[in-house]
Amino acid sequence: MKVIQINKFYFTKGQGGGASRYFFDLTKLLESNGHKVIQFSMQHQDNLATPYSKYFVSNLDLTRPRLNWQAIKNLGRIFWSYEAAAKLEKLIQDTKPDLVHLHNIYYHLTPSILRVCKKYHLPVVMTVHDFNLICPNYSLYCRGKICVGCHSRLDRESRVSRVGGWYYNCFLKKCVKDSYLMSLIAVAEAYFRKWGNFYQKYVDLFLCPSQFVADKLILAGFPMDKIKVLPHFVIDRSWRPGFSQRLLPSLPVCQPSPAKVGSPSQPKGWTPTSRYCLYFGRLEPGKGVDLLVKAVKRLPKINLKIIGSGSQETVLKKLAQNNSNIKFLGWQEKQELARQIVSAEFVIMPSRAYETFGLAVLEAFSFAKPVIASNLGALPELVRHKQSGLLFDVGDIEDLSDKIKYLWDNPDLAIVMGQAGQKLAREKYSAVEHYKQLLKFYLSIDFMSIM
């Protein structure tokens, strides 16, 4: 089968995030099972090499919003990109694919490419990586709180929940970059998509990484028969580009770190003060890292390492100043990240915004590390309380602090939980199982109905 995979970023660093990581892992998975994968994306200085880069659309930088002539010229492009449509059409003509698999296309590639796919009678599958289909700021999170004002409300008379696209709330709350202008543009784009009904009309199957995401789409009015749940997967580390087992010679890969001096699995140079717990991911308000820092500040004998970068980095470092038990390591390459996960006691995901899945949880499980996570969004679907980790009440610093201390003081329990998480990752979230389910969904599309 020839599959065109489409994602607006062709790199994993920074903006790429979890969607891009899944995009590349899925490419590898499909290719390893004999399929031909064709990429379509946007040009960027951080892009990885691909023979299809000549088809990529020109770069559009939306990270630093500014009002000038060029920005005005680009405004129409975030609604409908004629360039993206033309280049994708050329790619389809040259490669003659069987199916199109979408990831994140908002703003940079636009729904214009959907019409092209249907012009050539191609089935279209879309993995839903965030909440942009129902929320202009992607996250259902605004000003430190969960927000569902754009897609559901309670009717005051009937007391029944009503669904719809009340996107103007995004403008009223300045949900996008705390800017009325940027929020207005996002709201206008959301209404344009709603009135055009592009995704509901042209996408044949929405693949949601969790039941939580599926339920949100259904609540917002998306057709239930087009929605399927397909969790992300963890692949064998030997598949990962540049990863080598020999790079971890002194670390017990996929084994918990020792809790006591003299343990036979103890890495060279290990001491009790080497113990630490770990957060890795983006440093953004919805990730709740500030809650984690405040919780660990109460526990001066427990070491915390934070890996990642983002808009909150400076604020978080200031919050943690004078606390020598909290260290910021910045963004790390895959190999170094693997080293840090392997040596950690456990991993913490303190999200205060909805997670669509929780790839970091699965990554931790693959190294037999238990996870402490907030009881929110899709995380409880992954972290089974007191089995593969612990759940704490969202935003409750005292509860988070208690859970960290409890798992730190009970390393034997952490070992058992980590092993349970690893077993879960291998059995339920393996590459083999993912491919089996994905192929079933690909083949479930009624090809004749889209001709």
pLDDT tens profile 246-278: 333 333 344 444 444 444 444 444 455 589 999
CA 170: distance to chain centroid?
22
- Residue 159: its pLDDT value, please? 43
The residue with greater pLDDT, 447 or 338, is: 338
Does the pLDDT of residue 448 top 70, yes or no?
no
Res. 450 pLDDT band, cuts 50 70 90? low
Does the pLDDT of residue 160 top 50, yes or no?
no
The residue with greater pLDDT, 367 or 238, is: 367
- The answer to whether 269 and 372 are in contact (CB under 8 A) is no
Could you tell me the two tokens for 232? 């992300």
- Residue 100: its pLDDT value, please? 98
Start-to-end CA span in the chain (Å)? 18
3-state SS string for the chain: CEEEEECCCCCCCHHHHHHHHHHHHHHHHHHHCCCEEEEECECCCCCCCCCCHHHCECCCCCCCCCCCHHHHHHHHHHCCCHHHHHHHHHHHHHHCCCEEEECCCCCCCCCHHHHHHHHCCCCEEEECCCCCCCCCCCCCEECCEECCCCCEEECCCCCCEEECCCCHHHHHCCCCCCCHHHHHHHHHHHHHHHHHCHHHHHCCEEEECCHHHHHHHHHCCCCHHHEEECCCCECCHHHCCCCCHHHCCCCCCCCCCCCCCCCCCCCCCCCHHHCCEEEECCCCHHHCHHHHHHHHHCCCCCCEEEECCCCCHHHHHHHCCCCCCEEEEECCCHHHHHHHHHHCCCEEECCCCCCCCCHHHHHHHHCCCCEEEECCCCHHHHCCECCCEEEECCCCHHHHHHHHHHHHHCHHHHHHHHHHHHHHHHHHCEHHHHHHHHHHHHHHCCHHHHC
The CA distance from 226 to 296, in Å, is 44
The residue with greater pLDDT, 151 or 134, is: 134
* CATH 3.40.50.2000 residue spans of the chain: 2-140+193-233+431-450, 241-428
The rounded mean pLDDT for the chain is 87
The CA distance from 186 to 219, in Å, is 21
- CATH number assigned to the domain with residue range 241-428, chosen from the 4 options 3.40.630.40, 2.170.150.20, 3.30.420.40, 3.40.50.2000: 3.40.50.2000
- Residue 62: its pLDDT value, please? 79
Mean pLDDT of the region 122-131: 97
The sign of the CA dihedral 177, 179, 180, 184 is: negative
pLDDT tens profile 298-313: 999 999 999 999 999 9
pLDDT tens profile 58-106: 998 877 666 555 666 678 889 999 999 999 999 999 999 999 999 999 9
**The one-letter amino acid at 126:** M
- The answer to whether 208 and 381 are in contact (CB under 8 A) is no
Res. 143 pLDDT band, cuts 50 70 90? confident
Query: Percent of the chain beyond pLDDT 90?
Result: 71
- Residue 142: its pLDDT value, please? 87
The residue with greater pLDDT, 154 or 83, is: 83
pLDDT tens profile 28-42: 999 999 999 999 999
- Residue 61: its pLDDT value, please? 84
Res. 145 pLDDT band, cuts 50 70 90? confident
The residue with greater pLDDT, 412 or 68, is: 412
| pTM assigned to the model | 0.86
- Residue 168: its pLDDT value, please? 86
Mean pLDDT of the region 177-196: 90
**Alpha carbons within 13 A on the beta-carbon side of 118:** 14
Does the pLDDT of residue 155 top 60, yes or no?
no
Domain 2-140+193-233+431-450: give its CATH code: 3.40.50.2000
Does the pLDDT of residue 151 top 60, yes or no?
yes
Does the pLDDT of residue 411 top 80, yes or no?
yes
Query: Percent of the chain beyond pLDDT 70?
Result: 84
- The answer to whether 38 and 3 are in contact (CB under 8 A) is yes
Does the pLDDT of residue 404 top 80, yes or no?
yes
Does the pLDDT of residue 205 top 50, yes or no?
yes
- The answer to whether 229 and 150 are in contact (CB under 8 A) is no
Burial class of residue 343 in the structure, from the number of CB atoms within 10 Å of its CB (0-12 exposed, 13-18 middle, 19+ buried): buried
Mean pLDDT of the region 284-306: 97
Could you tell me the two tokens for 95? 């490669």
- The answer to whether 40 and 56 are in contact (CB under 8 A) is yes
Does the pLDDT of residue 236 top 60, yes or no?
no
Res. 238 pLDDT band, cuts 50 70 90? very low
- Residue 153: its pLDDT value, please? 55
- Residue 172: its pLDDT value, please? 87
